[in-house]
Structure 1
């Protein structure tokens, strides 16, 4: 420890230096300006506003050299700025003839003067943090002028809260205000004036375009508890940069909707391909929505970008629902066809015995070829429907389902033009399926090409007459529709139905998406601010 004599020696050595850091006090009747060209009277009270004619003017000069952060989550803005306060301390005693004044009539004071002087009770509205910069000491200073003005300047980082609304995100515009005023003294005691500036050239890029402008006239005076308080400052207009969100969210999701329209030109029978396309697009859009929700700022409802993605999801879901309807139509048609084939199978068993007598003459041609034979009687009407007869003598067409080692399974169509059971013309038609199987390999699903080929083969076979063990000739030509033609017509009609649905959807879905885009962008870009003002 230092000895008592050493401590006293150091105190005596530094006492002249410490005295220079203390605000000089002097006798108002006989002021001493030997050390400083100014002093305060001994009866000075730092809790009293300097007397002036009318309210004391406090001038605020703010230079924003950077808006370092705009936080959409915490609803705050961080400023790097120089904050200057200037007011007139009329109680200073000044020696204007002193040579210590600078050329501009100022003298640099110590920041320790602040502890002994009256200072404005400044408040910044919605201030969250005001932190002076420190290196070795506070980055601040005091300057005194001959006209008794005092300038207090400080370099600081200020964080203010900003009431932002994000219902239009990312097409939103924000406006924040930097208000400086007195906490206690009303406008009859202190009124504020101010200037501001912004170093735009050195401003780092933010998610907003930043524009600092003057306060409106109504913002310079606030009424509280029946008293008017003076304010100054500036307002910050923030216009969000839209390009990143447009490229990251809007463009991909919009393209996914367009890709979903490709499904309308994919044949409905290609279930794995068409279903995989739509389900994949649907899941990708759901994933995009989750990402957007996690990254977007909080809002009272859906933000603009969330609304966009939701509509894209609903659009793809509607395309998927349209395909589900088509699949339901196909499934219903197959079910009805299966029921018809079951009914025909039952009728076949019933007509075997009835048709045996009508085809007795054909047995001799098939004696060397063991086969199994069943018979069905059909009547192909002009309307395309198929009616089952009850007796071979009354049926214009008699169909024999047979199987022989030489030709395998096939159909033998017998034409009874004369109505007599003894005169029958038969034709052997192979590779023709009357009813569809469980895999959908039939005329109705197989396409129009198979339908035309099979119809043509039957017409040719029935028009030639004779053959197949029958005794008919060219005179036995029949112009009726082939057996099974009614089924083909029904399936062609069903196919035409869902193809028409796809054609209509190919025009309707883009049309509705265009209407949505027109309303969406018109509202958020043109009318959103107008509606916000009306709702206020």
Structure 2
């Protein structure tokens, strides 16, 4: 009677274990590997096709933790991040246990193919995993499975390099099951972000131009029409080390721009100033071609440093053209026509005030002769020096004491010839002064433009220095 009641109960327990995939405690006949693996073969390895859960209504909780071993590279053009990780998966097999004394060990390594392993993958994966394969996992006597393997991850990452080389990148690695829903597999973090960052910095060996600043860990769910998937996101905060780019790109460029700025101290009428600026432009172009490999290649926004180089080159070209213009004015302004009124007002009245220049007043000597008066004894010359006005004094006639019937003297004839020559000289001098005034206006326009470009250079250098310094200070004081 008693045995008949026990038999149905045992059958119920056996069927319950078979249908729910539970594993019974292992009874080793001796503390030897052969005895333990025989029990594992009988109780566990034959059930590697189904998830190790006691009830299908409850999800299998998988704990995930990673360690960033190396940052292999960042491809701005392809928008990818290459890292080397250690991935650790942990889960429990319900009902599995053995006695450490009877079986001889607390944990044992078994082939990965002998167990049911979750299909955890990275959503941002862009290339195949080329890391070495690890065929074994650890199995503890409490049924705890410890799966540790290296992964070489080439993941997609939206890179923002507008502040290159002071940029900070935020790349996310999303771990989750490829097939199983959240009701079947639940992803849980094994460590916090601070613990992950501390462990990664302790073993981080390959990072190149990048520094691992912060790691954030947070679980999430992917909602789709067919159901929801449990995921675990790791956000890697990477900061570029800018020293290499500052020394090789920014400092030489600033030196060349400063030399071009100092070249404004050369006299503008000198031909050497134009040749000097042309040599600087050639050197700056060669510098950009040599350092082109260090500049990022992007398909999005243009980096700020590229804008800086373009504006620097544009200012150098503008200063060369302005030097050619001023040199041409200095040597050929006397052949130009009068300055247009609008240009004279714009440059000499407004721009001259902006650049702190005032047009010079014309202090010239005007020689006024009276060619119509024929008396050689008259005072025919009157010289007046003034700032802007010409004052002429009419000569007072002086009566000659000679008699009307006297023949003309040779001295009088010579004086008449001299008067005609002085009249011709006067006409030439007036024409020369008129041309000189036009030339002076053109030269003053050139001087104002030269000073304006000089101030623009100074403003550009100060603005660039403040911008670069501000971005650098903000980058260095970034608190992860």
Shorter-chain TM range is 0.5 to 0.7
Say which is worse superposed, 279-288 or 252-261, in terms of deviation. Answer: 279-288
In the TM superposition, residue 190 of structure 1 has moved relative to its aligned partner by: 0.9
Aligned to 2:388: none
CA contact (8 A) 1:207 1:240 kept: yes
The CA distance in 1 between the partners of 2:374 and 2:109, in whole Å, is 130
**2:269–2:326 Cα contact (<8 Å) kept:** no
Distance in 2 between the 1:221 and 1:99 partners?
Answer: 43
Distance apart, 1:309 and its partner CA: 0.2
Q: Which of 459, 462, 470 matches 1:514? A: 462
Shift of the 183–389 alpha-carbon distance from structure 1 to 2, 3 Å rule, reads farther
Note if 1:121 corresponds to 2:119.
yes
1:518, distance to aligned residue in structure 2 (A): 4.0
The alpha-carbon distance between structure 1 residues 81 and 517, as it changes in their structure 2 partners (threshold 3 A), is closer
The answer for the alignment partner of 1:82 in structure 2 is 86
C-alpha distance in 2, partners of 1:204/1:288? Answer: 30
- 1:47 CA displacement: 3.2
Could you say what secondary structure the match of 1:99 adopts? Answer: helix
1:521 CA displacement: 6.0
Q: 2:99 — aligned with what? A: 96
Quick one: structure 1 residues 251 and 418, their matched pair in 2 at CA, closer, same or farther if it must change by over 3 Å? farther
1:43 Cα deviation after fit: 10
Q: Partner of 1:375 in structure 2?
A: none
Residue in 1 aligned with 2:236? Answer: 236
Q: Secondary structure at the match of 1:198?
A: helix
**CA distance in 1: counterparts of 2:470 and 2:315, whole angstroms:** 20
CA displacement 1:292-311 (0-9 Å, x = unmatched): 54442222242222111001
Once residues 434 and 249 of structure 1 are traced to their aligned partners in structure 2, the CA distance between those partners, rounded to angstroms, is: 63
Say which of 160, 170, 179 aligns to 1:175. 170
Q: CA deviation at 1:322?
A: 2.3
Which ranges in structure 2 are unaligned for 5 or more consecutive residues? 1-21, 30-34, 338-362, 382-394, 399-411, 420-424, 476-480
Give secondary structure in 1 for the equivalent of 2:102: coil
Q: Which has the larger radius of gyration?
A: 1
Which SS does the other structure have where 2:66 is aligned?
A: strand
Distance 2:426 2:104 in 1: 117
Q: CA offsets, 1:451-498, max 9 Å, x none?
A: xxxxxxxxxxxxxxxxxxxxxxxxxxxxxx999666666656655554
1:254 aligns with 2:254: yes
Deviation at 1:282, TM superposition (A): 2.0
The one-character-per-residue Cα deviations of 1:346-368 (angstroms, maximum 9, x if unpaired) are xxxxxxxxxxxxxxxxxxxxxxx
Correspondence for 1:276: 275
The aligned residue for residue 216 of structure 2 is 214
* Superposed displacement of residue 242, structure 1: 1.2
Where does 1:379-528 land on structure 2 (aligned, <5 Å)?
A: 393=374, 396=380, 423=415, 495-518=443-466
Quick one: which of 35, 41, 49 aligns to 1:47? 49
Q: How many pairs were matched up?
A: 378
Alignment of 1:262-411 (within 5 A): 262-271=262-271, 273-299=272-298, 300-336=300-336, 393=374, 396=380
Q: Deviations over 1:152-198 (max 9, x none)?
A: 22244333333323233222111112222111112211111233431
Change beyond 3 A, Cα 1:293–1:391: farther
Q: How far, CA to CA, are the matches of 2:206 and 2:100 in structure 1?
A: 48
Once residues 80 and 515 of structure 1 are traced to their aligned partners in structure 2, the CA distance between those partners, rounded to angstroms, is 41
Partner of 2:141: 146
The match for 2:402 is: none
In the alignment, the residues of structure 2 paired with residue 159 and residue 287 of structure 1 have an alpha-carbon distance, to the nearest angstrom, of: 35
Structure 1: runs of 5+ lacking an equivalent: 1-26, 338-381, 398-415, 428-432, 437-480, 528-536
1:345-402 alpha-carbon deviations (Å, 9 max, x no partner): xxxxxxxxxxxxxxxxxxxxxxxxxxxxxxxxxxxxx9756899987959957xxxxx
Match of 1:61 among 59, 65, 68: 65
Query: In structure 2, what is the equivalent of residue 161 of structure 1?
Result: 156
Contact 2:71 2:210 in 1 (8 A): no
- What secondary structure, in the 3-state scheme, does the structure 2 residue paired with 1:206 have? coil
Measured against aligned partners, the alpha-carbon deviations of 1:26-81 in whole angstroms (never above 9, x if no partner) come to: x9899763311743548954332222462111112323333344444544344334
- TM-score scaled by length of structure 1: 0.59
In the aligned structure 1, how far is the partner of 2:430 from the partner of 2:44? 127
Equivalent position of 1:340 in the other structure? none
What CA deviation, in whole Å up to 9, does each residue of 1:423-448 have, x standing for no partner? 46979xxxxx9999xxxxxxxxxxxx
How far apart are residue 265 of structure 1 and its match?
2.1
Q: CA deviation at 1:86?
A: 1.4
Please state how far the C-alpha of 1:207 moved relative to its aligned partner: 0.8
Moved more, 383-392 or 491-500: 383-392
Q: Compute the displacement of 1:262 (Å).
A: 2.6
Q: CA deviation at 1:222?
A: 2.7
Greater helix proportion: 2
**Two-structure CA RMSD over aligned residues (Å):** 4.3
Q: Kindly indicate whether residue 187 of structure 2 is the aligned counterpart of residue 187 of structure 1.
A: no
Shift of 1:249: 1.4
Higher relative contact order (CA 8 A, sep 6+): 2
Q: Is the 8 A contact 1:125 1:179 kept in 2?
A: yes
SS in 1 for 2:129: strand
Which deviations, in whole Å up to 9, do the C-alpha atoms of 1:69-100 show, x marking residues without a partner? 444454434433432221112264x4436532
Q: What SS is found at the alignment partner of 2:49?
A: coil
**Alpha-carbon distance between aligned partners in 1 of 2:263 and 2:322, rounded to the nearest angstrom:** 10
